[in-house]
A and B are shown apart, each in its own frame.
Chain A
Amino acid sequence: MTAEAMVPVPYRVAGRVVETADSVTVRLEPVGEPVPEARLGQFMMLYAPGIGEVAISVSGPGPMHTIRAVGAVSRALHDLTPGRVVGVRGPYGTSWDVEDAAGHDVVIVAGGAGLCPLRPVLTAVLADRVRYRRLVVVAGARTPAEFLFPHELAAWARRHDVEVLRTVDRPAEGWTGPVGFVTEPLSALELDPAATRAFLCGPEPMMRACAEILLAKEVPAAAIRVSLERAMKCGIGLCGHCQLGPLLVCRDGPVVDYTVAGPLLAVKEL
C-alpha cells in the first residue's frame, strides 16, 4: 500500500438499528471494492466526509459498527441514514485470540461501549459452543436503558450454556438486577483460574480493577486480554497519536495481554 493507505474506500449505510438514546449499530456495504474482512476485535477508521475520521470497532459481520455519539465525528456517523456514504479504512490492529480459548472457560467483561468489540467474541464462541467450556458474560451499563444489544443480551441470558451477569451503576424503575460496577459480580464468580481466558473491554479504570480481581483469583496475567483505547488519527503506525509507552496502540493493540498492559496502565498519564 501507499499514501493511498490514508485514503478510505466508500461504503454505503445498508442498515441502521437504534441501540440506546445515543448509540446505533450500522451495517455497511461496499460501494466498490470491499476492504478485507476483520478479525475479532479489530477496528476500522470510519470517515464522515468533511467532519473527520475515528477508530470504530467491528461489532459484527457486514461489517457492522456500533457508534456512540459523543463528539462531532461520532455524532455525524451516528446520524447517517441508510443510503449515505462513509469512508472506510482497515481493518487494523490486533485481535482477540479466541482460538487460544478453545477448551477453556471464557470470561467476557464489558463496560458500556466495551461490548462492541466483544460481541464478535461471543458470537464466535456460541457458533462453536462445544469447543469451549464455561461462558460467562459480565456486562455493565450506567443505567438499564444504556445496555447495547439489549435483545441479544436477553437472548443470551435465556440460554442454559451462557451465564449473563448484568449490572448497572444507577437503577431505574423496573430494574430488578444488581446495582454496582462490573467488579462486583466478577468478584463473586468462582473461577477455575488455570483454565480461564478473560477478555476485557471498557474504561481503563474498569479494566484495571477487573484484571486485579482476576489476578487475585490466580488467573495468570497472560490469560487476561484487554482492548486499549488511545487517540488515533492514522490507525497504521504513522501519526504517533496512540502511543502508550512501548506500544503504538493502533499497531501493537488494541488487544494486548495483561502482562503488557498491566505495568502501562498502572502509570498515570503515560
Chain B
Amino acid sequence: MTSDGTVTIDLAGLGGLVDALIRDGYRVIGPTVRDDAIVLAELDSAEQLPAGWGVTTGPGRYRLRRREDRAVFGHSAGPQGWKRYLHPPRRKLLEATADGRFTAGEPDRTRYAFLGVRGCDLAAIAVLDRVLGGGAHPDGSYRRRRAELFVVAANCTEPGEVCFCASMGTGPAAGPGYDLALTERIDGDGHRFIVDVGSPDGARLLAQVGTQPARGAEVRAAREAVAAAADRMGRVMPAVDLPSVIRESRESPLWEEVASRCLTCANCTMVCPTCFCTTTEDVTDLSGEHAERHQRWASCFELDFSYVHGGSVRTSGASRYRQWFSHKLGTWHEQFGMSGCVGCGRCIAWCPAGIDITEEAAKLAGGCS
C-alpha cells in the first residue's frame, strides 16, 4: 500500500470483489449490455460488465459503440438510474381487510450492492436520501434499502456529450458516500483499478480480494485523469443564481416556446435519477373483503398529477414543463436545501424532442440579465 492506503486490483480482483459481495449476501447490481443500451441489472459475475463498450450521446440520441480497449466503466449514464432499486417503480403500501385491519406491505429485505456508481449518480442518491429519508416522515422502505446498500463508485474519466456534472459540483470524481471507489486504468501496465476505501465495510470487503499496493505515480496519474475529465464534458449549467433567475421568470415567454416542442411524454422524469414523485392506486378483490394500495412512479408531466376535484391545476404543457424545470433547478433548493439536478444528462439524451435542460437554463439566464 502507498502511504494513503490506496491499492489496485486487476480484472480478476474485480471479479473477486463481485464474488465476495455475492458471498456476503448482496444482490450485485451493475451495468451490462442489453437491448442496444447499457442497462443496470443483477450481475452474477464481473464477466457481465460491458467490457469494450462505450456510448455516444446527444440531445435525443443514445448509441452503443465499440471501444478500442476493454474498459468496463468506459461509458456514460444509461437510461436507468439506481433509483429504481432504492425507490422502486411500483410497490405495495398496504393491505386492508373489510373489518378494518391495515397492514404494511411486506418490507423488502434485499441487500443491494451497486457496482460502478458515478459521481453524478452518487450525488443523486444523496438527493434521494434528503428527500425520501431526511424529512419529518421518512419513507421507511427507502431507508431500509438505503441502510443496507453497499456502493462501489466509479470515478469518471470519460464524460459524454450530454454530461455536465462538473458544473453541478457532483463529479467527475465520486464524492463521499461510497464504500469503495474505483478509477479504471488501462495502459502499458495493464488493465486495473485504483481503489479508494470509503468505509469500514469497504475495507472489510476489499480484504477478501487480492490487492496490490498502488504506486504513488500511478495514483497521481489516475487522479489527474479524473480531474481532467471535468474539462471534457459536453455541456455546462450556466453559473448564475438559478433559483432566483427561475423565480423571476415565472411569466417568461420561454415556457410557451419550450412547450411548442415538448411532447409532455414524461421521459425526462422517468430517466432522472432524482425525480421521486409517486402516486397511489387502490384495488379491491371482487368480494370487497380485501383491498390493496400500491405506490407507483408518477410525473408532473401527467395531466392528472395536479388534479383536485374539479380539474387540474396545470393543464398547459408550458406550465408542466415550467413545473419540472423550476423544481429541478430552483424550488428544490427551497424545499430541500440542494439542487434537484446532478448533471447526469439523461433527460437530454432521452428526450424525444432533444430538449436540453442546460440550453433552456442558459436562455432563461440570458433573458434575465
Residues of A within 8 A of B (CB): 1-10, 12, 31, 47, 49-53, 70-71, 74, 85-87, 229-231, 233-234, 236-241, 243, 245-248, 251-252, 267-270
Contacts and interface: CB of A to CB of B under 8 A. Distances in A.
Select the residue from A2, A229, A236 with max chain B CB neighbours within 10 A.
A2
Contacts of B359: none
Q: Bin chain B's interface residue count.
A: 35 or more
B313 A3 contact: no
A204 B310 CA distance: 13
A243 B336 CA distance: 13
A10 B277 CA distance: 27
Interface string B55-66: 000000000000
A211 B103 CA distance: 44
Contacts of B144: 2-3
Nearest to A1: B137
Nearest to A52: B282
Interface in B294-312: 295, 298, 300, 305-310
Contact of A236 (B136, B141, B293, B316): B136
25 contacts: A1-B137, A1-B138, A2-B144, A3-B107, A5-B140, A6-B94, A6-B139, A7-B103, A8-B102, A9-B102, A10-B100, A10-B102, A12-B100, A31-B100, A49-B98, A51-B282, A85-B100, A230-B313, A236-B136, A238-B132, A239-B278, A240-B276, A240-B278, A240-B300, A243-B323
Nearest to B93: A6
Contacts of A4: 104, 140
B319 interface: yes
B257 interface: no
Given A7-B93, A87-B102, A50 B276 contact: no
Contact of A270 (B291, B308, B319): B319
B196 to A, nearest CB: 33
Contact of B277 (A50, A51, A241): A241
A131 B364 CA distance: 51
B280 A233 contact: yes
Instruction: Report the 6 A-B pairs with minimum CB-CB distance, sorted nearest first.
Output: A2-B140, A85-B100, A3-B140, A50-B291, A240-B277, A269-B319
Contact of B251 (A5, A248, A267): A267
A268 B323 CA distance: 12
Contacts of A9: 102
A269 B315 contact: yes
Contacts of B97: 49
B110 interface: no
B300 A6 contact: no
Contacts of A50: 96, 282-284, 288, 291
Contacts of B188: none
Contacts of A2: 138, 140-141, 143-144
A130 to B, nearest CB: 35
A241 B306 contact: yes
Given A50-B291, A53-B280, A243-B331, A237 B100 contact: no
A158 B309 CA distance: 35
Given A9-B102, A50-B288, A270-B250, 14 more contacts: A1-B137, A2-B140, A3-B141, A6-B104, A7-B102, A49-B96, A231-B313, A238-B135, A239-B278, A241-B277, A241-B305, A247-B335, A267-B251, A269-B315
A31 B94 CA distance: 18
A86 B98 CA distance: 10
B102 A238 contact: no
Contacts of A268: 319
Contacts of A269: 313-316, 318-319
A114 B195 CA distance: 61
B34 interface: no
Contacts of A74: 309
B366 to A, nearest CB: 22
Contact of A238 (B107, B276, B331): B276
Interface in B260-285: 276-280, 282-284
Contacts of A47: 96, 102, 293
A231 B308 contact: yes
A238 B279 CA distance: 10
